[in-house]
Amino acid sequence: MGTKKWTLLVLVLSLIIGSYLRFYKLDWGEGYYFHPDEYHIVGAVHHLISNGLFSNPQLFSYGSLTVYLIYFAYQILSHFLATPNIFIIGRSLSALFSTLTLIIIFAISKKNFPKNKYLPVFVVLVSAFVPGMIQQAHYLTPETFITFWITLSTYFFIVYFEKQKLINLILSALSLGLAGGTKISAFAVLPFFLTTIFFYKLKKEIIFSRLQRVLLFLTTAFVLFFSVFPYSILDYTDFRSTTRYESSLATGATKVFYTRAFEGSIPFLFQITKIYPYTVGVVCLGFSIFGAIITAIKVIKNTGAKRIKYLILAGVFFSYFLFNGLLFTKWTRFIHPTIPFVIIFAFLLIDYVTEKIKNPVRKIVSAALVFVLVGATIISGSMYFTIYQRSDVRIQATNWAATHLEKNSYILTETGNTLEVPLKGQYNIIPFDFYNVDTRPQLYEKLLESISKSDYFIIQSRRIYLNHKNKNEYPVAVNFYKSLFSGQLGFTEIQSFESFPQLTVGKFKYTINDEKSEETWTVFDHPVLKIFKKTKGFSINHYDQILRQ
């Protein structure tokens, strides 16, 4: 089989596998939807369905493009289905855009590996399996959409400097405008684009001067942005208010309970240690770090056409990574658009090493490095994929409770979850706000009563007990969980549910406990859930003494 046929076969197989990994079990949760951000988008779509396409979606924390895409898909499907599921439509579009991103990654890789014809297909194969892209494809959040548009904009930007045709600059601007209309943070890369257009000298000045091309790019991008996000102008007051609030959350100026995990976190180091090892894998991350350094060196040493390709890759990546890395709020999905570039950097290392090694061992070393990177990523991606092959832990817990917990018993649970476990059954649920028990005195008395009254206590995820370790700041919360785990409260753990990434070969089973990752990596689709039973009751005064110690 010739090289072209072989690479085409691997490319097609990679796309098929990538598509399967993304579209598989988009209804995870078995009718329940555990990702809180999905409800915001679905609510905006419902608003359009009820009030018409030209009504205000009233969603400013994200752009409107994703909402409109889901709305149009809903309208089409409603001709064939009685009640199309908006959650599933949105997740399907997310999986589709994630799959299409693989094609753009291949196109960019072909530009950066002109001598190694086989590397681009392996870039796609790794991209198909990286856990982070598989996970985000299963969520109805803007990240897969914005990743596609930023990657597409980058591709056209590279082609513009390669072929020096104005149409490619316009297409790059159009793509970036759509990215901004999906989520305004996409414009973090805009300064780099404008600076490069203005300062990078072309072989020939085409049609417009540098300043005119800058204005053309800027105008085109913002015309598209306002076209798909019209109420950012038409309802500017609400847009500005929401943007200010979201910005204050991102910078840490406004503190809320669901960002406490980032208190004391170190910018950049947090992403490198708590996010990337899980989203792309340790091996890919290691390769990528050295690949990024090599890319920076090539930007400095090379000139002309050789430099611009590396400059654009590095510029787009670092613009987005630096912008999000400096934020107080460091959720996993925030840096998802950098994943394609991380993967390409990893292969740039392989390409560089291959260039430096002379025959006859060049092909052997290159093949070995590719094998290690591809093999490690396939294993990590396959392990993560098993999460969706198993029943969700909250479903498991609900089914277990039906046969093990007494009916009409009192169950103390933690608030702040999208849904409370058990999800159904004849129980008396006592949801308690542990996040604010140390700042609202009236909650303390309620906690004492709730502990005394409850028969069971359920930890829904790690979000509270791992984020409240500072006894000076959260004395009640710290004492509660410390006393719970030690048995001082009279509760005993009777069951735990987890669904970690897993590799099973025959009788061999290897599990990765990823609880130490950034919390949103686990809490939405595979949290650890623990059920405690009261085995010894005490007086309220006794509980008071324990929690005040």
User: How is the chain split into domains, by residue range?
Assistant: 3-53+61-389, 393-547
Q: What is the pLDDT of residues 118-160, one digit of tens each?
A: 899 999 999 999 999 999 999 999 999 999 999 999 999 999 9
CB 242 within 8 A of CB 60: yes
Residue 205 pLDDT greater than 70, yes or no: no
d(CA 192, CA 175) in angstroms, rounded, equals 15
Q: How confident is the model at residue 470, as a pLDDT?
A: 87
The percent of residues in the chain predicted with pLDDT above 90, rounded, is 83
d(CA 137, CA 25) in angstroms, rounded, equals 11
The mean predicted confidence, pLDDT, of the chain is: 93
At residue 203 the predicted structure's pLDDT band, cuts being 50, 70 and 90, is low
Residue 397 pLDDT greater than 90, yes or no: yes
> Which value, to the nearest 10 degrees, does the dihedral of the CA atoms of residues 517, 149, 327, 41 take?
-80
Residue 359 pLDDT greater than 80, yes or no: no
At residue 202 the predicted structure's pLDDT band, cuts being 50, 70 and 90, is confident
Q: How confident is the model at residue 306, as a pLDDT?
A: 76
Residue 383 pLDDT greater than 60, yes or no: yes
Q: What is the pLDDT of residues 62-92, one digit of tens each?
A: 999 999 999 999 999 999 988 899 999 999 9
The helices-and-strands tally (H runs, E runs) of the chain is 22, 7
d(CA 388, CA 513) in angstroms, rounded, equals 16
Residue 374 pLDDT greater than 60, yes or no: yes
**Residue 88 token pair:** 């599933």
Q: How confident is the model at residue 50, as a pLDDT?
A: 96
Q: How confident is the model at residue 206, as a pLDDT?
A: 60
Q: How confident is the model at residue 437, as a pLDDT?
A: 94
Phi, psi of 427 (to 5 degrees): -130, 160
**Residue 533 token pair:** 């039973």
Higher-confidence position of 390 and 301: 390
At residue 2 the predicted structure's pLDDT band, cuts being 50, 70 and 90, is low
Among 454, 515, 516, 517, which residue's Cα sits nearest to residue 480?
A: 454
d(CA 86, CA 90) in angstroms, rounded, equals 6
Mean pLDDT within 266-284: 97
Q: What is the pLDDT of residues 7-56, one digit of tens each?
A: 889 999 999 999 999 999 999 999 999 999 999 999 999 999 999 999 99
Residue 3 pLDDT greater than 90, yes or no: no
Q: How confident is the model at residue 157, as a pLDDT?
A: 97
* Termini Cα distance of the chain: 74
**Residue 144 token pair:** 């897969």
**Residue 48 token pair:** 């359009």
Q: How confident is the model at residue 303, as a pLDDT?
A: 73
Mean pLDDT within 376-400: 97
Mean pLDDT within 248-253: 92
Beta bridge pairs of residue 413: 431, 458
What single-letter amino acid sits at 207? I
d(CA 183, CA 463) in angstroms, rounded, equals 26
Q: How confident is the model at residue 4, as a pLDDT?
A: 77
Q: What is the pLDDT of residues 174-194, one digit of tens each?
A: 999 999 999 999 999 999 999
**Threshold 0.85, pTM exceeds:** yes
d(CA 282, CA 394) in angstroms, rounded, equals 29
